């Protein structure tokens, strides 16, 4: 039996603070934000990805993940989110290993683009001020972001995702307690 660990220490305040951080990350694409909440999620889940899911996922958001049974049990207990094997049915997808292709995720419809899924991608490291050049809404000139351990061909897949706008998939990049967002409106150029 796996050892279940606690979630947020102060569920309401920590979830609100983390939500605020994710909102900030989404409104300034590519800018690194830091999750303040102290949590000890089961391996291989990192703090930022765990906080994002605890804040966002609930009983109405089917969740797909590749992080193993311990993480699935932890998220089921603390979020009550139904775990789905069908990635196209998921509202949130958590990728700790090989990232699923963006095309596999639900992109929403033209009438309801908000139904597009959010991919929470756990990567090896995030560094600002080098790497990709991001432009788009929320960015005055350009933001730089280097993603260590980004999936192969990610920028090409992202370009295809971007053309679907207003439909599409949003991505939250998590490493340790750092989080950066790639909303579907952003354009990525290799730096």
Partner 1 sequence: MAVLARASAAELADRLAALPELPAAETLRAPETGLVMVRGRAGGDGDAFNLGEMTVTRCAIRLGAHIGHAYVAGRDNAKARMAALLDAALQDGLLHDALMRAVVEPLAAAQQEARALEARKAAATRVDFFTMATMR
- The nearest distance, CB 6 to partner 1, in angstroms, is 5
Task: Considering only the stretches 4-12, 104-112, 138-146, 158-166, report the one whose residues sit in contact with partner 1 under the rule CB under 8 A.
Answer: 4-12
The C-alpha atoms of residue 64 and residue 83 are separated, in whole angstroms, by 6
Part of the chain binding partner 1 (CB under 8 A), chosen from 2-10, 46-54, 114-122, 147-155? 2-10
> What is the nearest approach in angstroms of partner 1 to the Cβ of residue 39?
12
Of the residues 13, 34, 77, 125, which one makes contact with partner 1 according to CB under 8 A: 77
- The reply to whether 59 sits near partner 1 by the rule CB under 8 A is no
Do 35 and 54 touch, CB atoms closer than 8 A?
no
Work out whether 5 is an interface residue with partner 1 (CB under 8 A): yes
Find the binding residues for partner 1 in span 7-36 (CB under 8 A): 7, 11
Q: How far is the CB of 3 from partner 1 (least distance, A)?
A: 7
CA 45 to chain centre: 12
The residue range among 6-14, 54-62, 170-178, 183-191 that interacts with partner 1, by the rule CB under 8 A, is 6-14
Does residue 149 touch partner 1 according to CB under 8 A?
Answer: no
For the CB of residue 19, give the shortest distance to partner 1 in the complex, in Å. Answer: 18
Residues near partner 1 (CB under 8 A) are 1, 3-7, 11, 77-78
């Amino acid at each position: 039996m796996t050892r279940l660990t606690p979630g947020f220490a102060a569920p309401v305040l920590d979830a609100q603070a983390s939500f605020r951080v994710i909102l900030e990350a989404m409104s300034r694409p590519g800018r690194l934000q830091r999750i303040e909440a102290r949590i000890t999620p089961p391996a291989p889940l990192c703090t930022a990805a765990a906080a994002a899911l605890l804040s966002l996922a609930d009983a109405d958001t089917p969740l797909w993940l590749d992080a193993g049974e311990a993480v699935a049990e932890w998220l089921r207990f603390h979020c009550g989110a139904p775990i789905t094997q069908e990635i196209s049915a998921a509202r949130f997808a958590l990728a700790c290993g090989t990232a699923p292709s963006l095309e596999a995720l639900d992109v929403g419809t033209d009438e309801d683009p908000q139904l597009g899924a959010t991919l929470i991608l756990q990567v090896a490291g995030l560094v600002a001020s080098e790497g990709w050049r991001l432009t788009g809404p929320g960015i005055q000139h350009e933001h730089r972001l280097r993603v260590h351990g980004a999936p192969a061909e990610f920028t090409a897949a992202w370009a295809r995702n971007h053309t679907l706008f207003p439909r599409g998939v949003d991505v939250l990049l998590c490493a340790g307690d750092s989080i950066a967002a790639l909303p579907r409106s952003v354009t990525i150029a290799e730096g």
